[in-house]
Chain A
């Protein structure tokens, strides 16, 4: 599986120089889908004919006038909670098996307008629940580094498809870590942007005030390319920010000398102690940044458990509200895991919810103060490399606090960056968090790390049979 899977940046350069044909690139990705997806289960709906037609159209347009963006002619995938006009959008739910939207989600529309080639819809756990679930209409995605292990969720298909080179990038969504988690376990780059930067319009909700849409790709630079197409105001999304969109690639390669990097040691060393290999990955990141001229500071926040409780209560209630009608009338049609998550909503009172929303303001203000004078803060994504897919506790939400939820609570941009490999040969990662709308800084620092370390040179091996 290691043969010649280009990054978007490299492919775009070759396409612009007429050295790479979008048709040949798309066929190479389709070949990988046909060779691998019976074991990885990343796709729920492959749009092969459409992809080839779009690749032919892209090639003709590029030959006539050059590429309109770096995504022109690039094969992509969309998580199956993103509405796609005329293409089934099932949210991996029995309730939506016949659903064919009559309009594209804004993010799908923007990626199409950038000239990308849609390869199909990628698996998730039902309505973007974290998973894993085994009673969905289609099987869960498998980790391309080891198919017996979890991809994390819920953008599981996107993580598996990007890591294995079936697509060059894809859309993920993140309510409590669903971009960063699969990015970490699958060894790719995943950016949850600032809340409001990328439109949620046309994407099935998980929790309205915590939901983020964002890029998943092999490198930070590729995430920057994708974010460039996705960012911007959308009147269809009431939370959409009205801000100018910067050039996210402009500062890549400019170095990080003098950057102030904070480390939230107590999150991953005390509040939820990570394993030795993840800690080693964080140390590698800190030493790499120091070596590149950054200044390292310690950051102290409220305990991780406070952030987790706040985000979890909000998530439980907002999800229960979004799906209340079906919960009351069609509860048995949900998967077992989604059913249990929806039931939790009955046990959080209105006052509990609003106390969580009041706590949210305090926590967000706390992060704002802690980040004064810093460009970025750093912590873990997961405590260890991916566990076996059938070994996850069902009620993990009550057992260990999430390292990712704090930045859904705060709405700050956060990114998963691969920092090596564990003893089992699966990727490990750390998390970079920037200030609101400072994605360019997050991407610049992640890019500097990737270029200073060898972890982007290694792709997953060819997968064995899925158990």
Chain B
């Protein structure tokens, strides 16, 4: 179960994103932060350090010509 976000962390993340919100918007957003945290928990699995992401960078033939 993810830990609910506290006010300081909430304000820090908004400031870091450069978002200026009204008090009403902040209040509403706080109600769904747990939903995001639950999704973030759901994608974490025991997969070890070697598991690659879906998108990896590669070179095409034209890159080397």
Contacts and interface: CB of A to CB of B under 8 A. Distances in A.
Interface of A: 209, 305-306, 308-310, 312-313, 316, 320, 324, 327-328, 331, 339-340, 342-349, 352, 354-362, 364, 395, 397-398
Contacts of B17: 320, 324, 327-328, 343, 345-346
Nearest to A397: B35
Interface in B1-53: 5, 13-14, 16-21, 25, 28-29, 31-33, 35-40, 42-45, 47, 51-53
B42 A305 contact: yes
A354 B40 contact: no
B45 A359 contact: yes
A360 B54 contact: yes
7 contacts: A309-B38, A309-B40, A313-B36, A324-B18, A352-B40, A395-B32, A397-B35
Contact of A358 (B28, B32, B40, B53): B53
Contacts of B40: 309, 313, 348-349, 352, 355-356
A358 B42 CA distance: 12
The list of the 5 closest CB pairs from A to B, nearest first, reads: A398-B35, A346-B17, A328-B18, A360-B54, A309-B39
B29 A340 contact: yes
A361 B36 contact: no
Contact of A340 (B14, B25, B45, B55): B25
Nearest to A345: B17
A362 B13 contact: no
Q: Chain A contact residues: over half helix, strand or loop, or mixed?
A: helix
Contacts of B52: 358, 361
Interface of B: 5, 13-14, 16-21, 25, 28-29, 31-33, 35-40, 42-45, 47, 51-55
Contact of A316 (B29, B36, B45): B36
A361 B34 CA distance: 25
Contact of A346 (B19, B42, B55): B19
A308 B52 CA distance: 20
A113 B32 CA distance: 46
A316 B52 CA distance: 21
Contacts of A308: 39
